[in-house]
Structure 1
Amino acid sequence: FFLFYVFCCAVSICAVVFVLLSEMYPTKVRGLAMSIAGFALWIGTYLIGQLTPWMLQNLTPAGTFFLFAVMCVPYMLIVWKLVPETTGKSLEEIERYWTRSE
């Protein structure tokens, strides 16, 4: 089960997070920022992997996935409002966007 979960994560949100982060951080702090973000992502992935079996048993499968769906709503709103479109933009243009926003 855990290997299947890691595979699904790697081909979905985890891949998107790393691609997006590699474009968004300024070049001066990109390495450190991606290390911290990657660490936080894998801690979250580990916690979900550990808690899901317990949740499936105690909240039922429907309750577990309803909770996950509810947790996705704020994530979707944050991405929609705060994450800029980076298609067709150079790293310098994206960096200017973030420095102008501060």
Structure 2
Amino acid sequence: MTHSVTIYGFGSAFDDAKAPRDVDLLIVHQGTDLASCQLAIECKRRLAESIDRAHITMLSEAEEAHFEFIKTARAVRLGAIREDYFNVDLTALDAELHKLGAR
């Protein structure tokens, strides 16, 4: 099974604030198995390295569904990072964040 995570943005950097102070991201990973968690942790590490002022939350799909975080935070889907295309997908996500001015 190929694992993936979905990245969402929320907060001031994504709600048309004039001067956001930070970039809030949510990483939703598929499950609680070791491979899924390791992919989410590696994504968090790499995103934190490449995005100034990043605040990153990680939840499994089940946790997100339980807390309805995406709905409550009015988070917007930014993209997915697939295990087999990690660097390509991360580069595309970085470009998307730059386009949105959230970088």
Alignment TM-score > 0.5, same fold? no
- Over alpha carbons, which structure has the higher Rg? 1
TM-score by length of 2: 0.32
If each structure's strand is expressed as a fraction of its own residues, which one has the higher value? 2
Judging by fraction of residues, say which structure has more helix.
Answer: 1
